[in-house]
Structure 1
Amino acid sequence: MSSSSSPSSEAPSFTPGAAAALLARCASCAAAAAIHARLLRCSRAFFSSPYLANCLAAAYSGLGAAHSAVAILRHAPVRLNVFSHNILLAALISSRLLEDARKLFDGMPHRDAVSYNSIISGYIAGSRPDDAFWIVHDMKARGVQPTGFTFSIVSTAIHSVSHGLQLHGAVIRHGLAHSDAVVGNTLIDMYRGLMQYAARVFSCMQELDAASWNSVMAVYKDQSHSSGVFECFQSMRSKGLSVDGFTMSTVLSACSDMEDFTQGDQILALCLKTSLISNSVVCSAVISFLCMSDRLSHAVRLFRGMATWNSEPCNAMISGYARSGLMEEALSLFAAALRNGVVPTEFTFSSILRWSSCFGMMEQGTQIHCLVCKLGFGDDVIVATALTDMYCKLGLMKTARKIFNAVHSKDLVLWNTMLLGLLQNGRDKEALRMFRRMVKRCIRPDKITLFGALSACSSKGLVTEGLDIISLFKDKYHVMPSLEHHVCIVDILSQAGMFREAVNYAEGQVAEMWSCCIL
């Protein structure tokens, strides 16, 4: 063997630093394995410290070969350090071996914020939020300082206002609420259904990036506060921030919601000017806008001109056909999308089911229901809401209730859908029981819930209960009744023969509304 090919001559040029740099740039497991083999050929002295073992394990773990990472660290000839344990912990969690990860975590001689973040994210990804919250409390008890990433992870498991406020308070105590843009954006996303809280977080942030503006715009959009969306968009442009596909789709969707077609056309022109219309999310928003503004033929032309099909534009086009009464075209496109390998999303099913129920197409609706079950969307709350709504509109309440009860994590929209569905089918007592279940389970209601609960009381003339409900919404949930709610109260009083009280109530509300206008 020549000296040029001997391991000893190769070793000096192949240093641990060079090997680590190569491992950090590896794009495949085969490349990592090749470097691993070369290291073993050079000299086992390379592994006299845990440095290269950690680099190898991190490379394997990052490339999806968690089992190789685990094997390297478990058989390493050196004593592992905290970095080794963290890499091993991440590898076990990525392999969904939560119990093994927890055993390793409990046995670690030293844990840092990375260790805690890994096990917390593992529990949250595994739908075990209670275990995640226990780890957070342990982190605090042991004096380990949480990072912005810690709060970002935990926020995804928050489903109540009280827990959200507790997390927000902890963020403020650690000085991250105003100074860290990522944490601020996380809080805005967490307060997605509470516009005032989200807007307050946004206004207090010291540094705003494009994601901050996009997040708060999404909140305004969800709460139908379109003027807020437009103000944010104008501010972004005036500050010289670059807009992206998410920005444009949000603004264009707000134009559709407000039926502001003049401003929508201006946004559409900007999409064309910036070439963002090639973005599938923007393209779907444009298709929806064109359909909403009675330009279906333009939407069809845009859709047919797409180089490839994606789920978002398909959803928009299916919905556009259906809302125009062209259910045959909508169903044909749905079938064509499946044949072309476009995997339907929860929004695809939601769109097609919504319009199937509107046109009383029970056979097509039940066929789509079978496909929902076949593709594993049965427990998805968006699809379940659409199915519940469809069966309620078709009068098949037994099936609607079965679907509703099968959903493990019900959101407010699903509760409201079932509540209104019971009312539409003359089941007022059941609707009232449904409302009581919501309150008992600490589901925060909204104005739709209030309308449903009061309507149930109205048909039965339940005066005391109706007045208690409207007081509950004002005092506990801070939901201020609108005209339709006051009409329900007047109707309740009238149904009970309390005409004088009904007149007094109506006059009192008119006087209150008039005084508010003057102020």
Structure 2
Amino acid sequence: MPLRDTVAYNSMISGYAQSGRAEEALRLVRRMRELGVRPSAFTFSIVSSAVCSAPHGMQVHAAAVRHGSAQHNAVVGNTLVDMYRRVGLLEYAMRVFWSMNELDMVSMNSVMSVYKDDGQSSAVFECFRLTRSHGFSVDECSVSTVLTACTDIEDLAKGDQLLALCVKTGLLSNSIICSAVIGLLSMSDRLPDAVRLFEGLTKWDSETCNAMISCYARTGLMEQALGLFVIALRNAVLPTEFTFASVLRWSSCFGLMEQGTQIHALVCKCGFEDDMIVATALIDMYCKLGSLKHARKLFDSVCVKDLVLWNTMIIGLSQNGRGREALGVFWWMLDCGVKPDRITLFGALSACSLGGLVNEAMDIISLFKAKYHVVPGLEHYACVADMLSRAGLFREAEDLVQHKLQKCNTAALLNILEACMIQGDFAMAESIAENMLKLKPRSSLPYTVLARTYGARCKWESMARMWRSMEALGAKKAGECSWLCIKNEIHVFTSEEILHQGSEATYAVLDLLFWDMMDEISMMDCIHAPGCVDIIHTQDPKETRTVSEWSCGYHDLTVRQLKLRIVKQASTMSIKKKPLSQEGAEI
């Protein structure tokens, strides 16, 4: 075009902004100003909506102030408020809001979002009240923001009032508000109400399905969540990045590896493999399920990594015992120029704790203080205490707890106590356990540890006294369990489980595995322990055999061959009329 006016430039800038090319849009704005073409208020609103970094946003804001649009044009002011909210400069967003001469409903919605992101729920409620008192008509954005604030702080009373307002004004038919209401109901343990609301909808969309899937998953009904996910797909409700993130998150929480890999395949089929939110959820899932090979491969394939993705990979490696590798990713992140935060510091310190790298951890803390202005908090010092304990520096760890961790020293002392027991420092363990008794007298752990330390040092009377004190105070050991998903059914196991419907077959196979290990180290020639009476019931109700009878006739076989024969027959086993799959028998 030989002659380009403001409208032509705005059209081109809008195209860049809509395609996510913010730098090209800013470059074109500078070019039009150099050529003497005066930008309009619409120009600044377009660029503000595309900016994703604070420095660029401040440049746009300064230009809008010189132009006079920031104070006198509501559209420009609203986009500036939203821009500062997106880049995390909430104080600047509020300054823009209070400097605006014209306010509309979009302005009020923007400031309510700012307050919500800053965790100021009371300010959100007050702003909503002022909005209604000044004659503004509330819309789905304002109501959904306030509902989300109620959900965040679990204020059910205000949530019920808003729900009544939605029913009265007919806003409940809006999918955004309906999704927010479902989230509120799920947080208040009112799942039946959420289900009735969802089933009463005349039409499903991505927002409402996402909310209901999260509602099911949050209450532990993972089978229903995945079922609704499949039904939504069959009804042509296309999943979004938030759908995949929600399903992947809860799949990892319940250890559902098979379902997680199937969802990953669907992610690739739908074209979301390059989405940052979905990629982060996938990496988090694989890390929690222990599949670090897949997590690292996916992480390396992401071209542009944000801070959340880096933190997810660092913490995932640390949680799986890959401290050195986690530190390698951490230093790689810093070399890429990504500014770390408190979560990054926690992941790096956790990695140092695994290897007992005390000096390197202290250097990292000094680096964060001096260069990134990140001051360590209680969670970081608790990690340092754990690291000192793993390195055998128990006295230094206890001093750190006493001076830095007054508010959470019970958890930190617990880490030190466990390290003392592992390394056999019973004297130090006894001292720490006695301190824990003063802080938390109804916890079972100090009594248990003290009893064990007294027993290891042959102080039998003191050991008996600890058990009696624990019983008298009613302190009980917290139960631990593991679970396994077999054919869409989750089986929960506790220590020395004897009441599970598959316990007999489980112990029978465990017995075979035990003798398999004994055979491997050539310590015994027997293939079954004498006196074992574990019973295996087959599908024929008349046929009941012991493990010894299963092994009868196979004395010329190795234990591995015998185990394989029994596992092959395990596909037809049933324990007390409960089918047991081959996978269950192997485990």
TM-score under structure 1 length normalisation = 0.72
Report how far residue 387 of structure 1 moved. 1.1
One-letter identity of the residue aligned with 1:237: R
The residue correspondences of 1:366-381 to structure 2 (distance < 5 A) are 366-381=261-276
Report how far residue 492 of structure 1 moved. 4.5
Report how far residue 463 of structure 1 moved. 4.2
Q: What corresponds to 2:54 in structure 1?
A: 161
Change beyond 3 A, Cα 1:442–1:166:
farther
List per-residue Cα deviations over 1:133-180 (Å, max 9, x = no partner): 332221222122222322233234433332222332222232222222
Q: What corresponds to 2:164 in structure 1?
A: 269
The residue correspondences of 1:263-412 to structure 2 (distance < 5 A) are 263-412=158-307
Report how far residue 488 of structure 1 moved. 2.9
List per-residue Cα deviations over 1:61-111 (Å, max 9, x = no partner): xxxxxxxxxxxxxxxxxxxxxxxxxxxxxxxxxxxxxxxxxxxxxxx3322
1:179 aligns with 2:72: yes
Q: What corresponds to 1:205 in structure 2?
A: 100
Change beyond 3 A, Cα 1:189–1:437:
farther
The residue correspondences of 1:58-97 to structure 2 (distance < 5 A) are none
Q: What corresponds to 1:25 in structure 2?
A: none
Q: Distance in 2 between matches of 1:435 and 1:456?
A: 10
Q: Distance in 1 between matches of 2:147 and 2:4?
A: 47
Q: Distance in 2 between matches of 1:156 and 1:217?
A: 18
Q: What corresponds to 2:14 in structure 1?
A: 121
Q: Distance in 1 between matches of 2:169 and 2:208?
A: 19
Residue 147 of structure 1: which of 27, 35, 40 is its match?
Answer: 40
Q: Is the 8 A contact 2:378 2:405 kept in 1?
A: no
Higher mean C-alpha displacement, 319-328 vs 449-458: 449-458
Q: What corresponds to 1:47 in structure 2?
A: none
Change beyond 3 A, Cα 1:329–1:506:
closer
Q: Distance in 1 between matches of 2:107 and 2:373?
A: 27
Query: RMSD of aligned C-alpha atoms?
Result: 2.7
One-letter identity of the residue aligned with 2:12: I
Report how far residue 431 of structure 1 moved. 2.0
Unaligned runs of 5+ in 2: 408-587
Report how far residue 494 of structure 1 moved. 5.4
Q: Distance in 2 between matches of 1:115 and 1:508?
A: 65
- Matched residue count: 406
Q: Distance in 2 between matches of 1:476 and 1:148?
A: 39
Q: Distance in 2 between matches of 1:151 and 1:458?
A: 49
Q: Distance in 2 between matches of 1:143 and 1:498?
A: 69
Q: Distance in 2 between matches of 1:473 and 1:200?
A: 29
TM-score under structure 2 length normalisation = 0.64
Change beyond 3 A, Cα 1:270–1:172:
same
The residue correspondences of 1:103-118 to structure 2 (distance < 5 A) are 108-118=1-11
SS at match of 2:136: coil
Report how far residue 457 of structure 1 moved. 2.9
Q: Distance in 2 between matches of 1:461 and 1:173?
A: 56
Change beyond 3 A, Cα 1:402–1:489:
same
1:136 aligns with 2:23: no
Residue 196 of structure 1: which of 87, 91, 101 is its match?
Answer: 91
The answer to which structure has the higher helix fraction is 1
One-letter identity of the residue aligned with 1:246: C
Q: What corresponds to 1:8 in structure 2?
A: none
List per-residue Cα deviations over 1:406-443 (Å, max 9, x = no partner): 33343332222222211111122222232333333333
Report how far residue 477 of structure 1 moved. 4.3
Residue 417 of structure 1: which of 302, 312, 316 is its match?
Answer: 312
Q: What corresponds to 1:453 in structure 2?
A: 348
Q: Distance in 2 between matches of 1:131 and 1:452?
A: 36
SS at match of 2:69: coil
Report how far residue 269 of structure 1 moved. 1.6
Q: Distance in 1 between matches of 2:345 and 2:11?
A: 42
Q: Is the 8 A contact 2:354 2:387 kept in 1?
A: yes
SS at match of 1:336: helix
Q: Is the 8 A contact 1:380 1:407 kept in 2?
A: no
One-letter identity of the residue aligned with 2:201: M
Q: What corresponds to 1:227 in structure 2?
A: 122
SS at match of 2:72: coil
Report how far residue 234 of structure 1 moved. 2.7
Q: Distance in 2 between matches of 1:444 and 1:165?
A: 19
Change beyond 3 A, Cα 1:327–1:511:
closer
Q: Distance in 1 between matches of 2:112 and 2:106?
A: 10
- Structure number, greater radius of gyration: 2
Q: Distance in 2 between matches of 1:147 and 1:475?
A: 43
Change beyond 3 A, Cα 1:471–1:177:
farther
Change beyond 3 A, Cα 1:276–1:199:
same
List per-residue Cα deviations over 1:327-381 (Å, max 9, x = no partner): 2211111111111121111111111111111111111111111111111111111
Change beyond 3 A, Cα 1:110–1:233:
same
One-letter identity of the residue aligned with 1:433: G
Change beyond 3 A, Cα 1:475–1:263:
farther
Q: Distance in 1 between matches of 2:253 and 2:406?
A: 40
Q: Distance in 2 between matches of 1:459 and 1:228?
A: 43
Q: Distance in 1 between matches of 2:114 and 2:70?
A: 18
Q: Distance in 1 between matches of 2:175 and 2:339?
A: 34
Q: Is the 8 A contact 2:381 2:405 kept in 1?
A: no
Q: Distance in 1 between matches of 2:211 and 2:161?
A: 20
Q: Distance in 2 between matches of 1:228 and 1:217?
A: 8
Q: Distance in 2 between matches of 1:273 and 1:449?
A: 47
Report how far residue 226 of structure 1 moved. 2.7
Q: Distance in 2 between matches of 1:265 and 1:413?
A: 34
Higher mean C-alpha displacement, 356-365 vs 213-222: 213-222
Report how far residue 282 of structure 1 moved. 0.4
Q: Distance in 2 between matches of 1:413 and 1:135?
A: 31
Higher mean C-alpha displacement, 361-370 vs 450-459: 450-459
Identical aligned pairs, as a percentage?
63
Q: Distance in 1 between matches of 2:369 and 2:74?
A: 34
Change beyond 3 A, Cα 1:294–1:148:
same
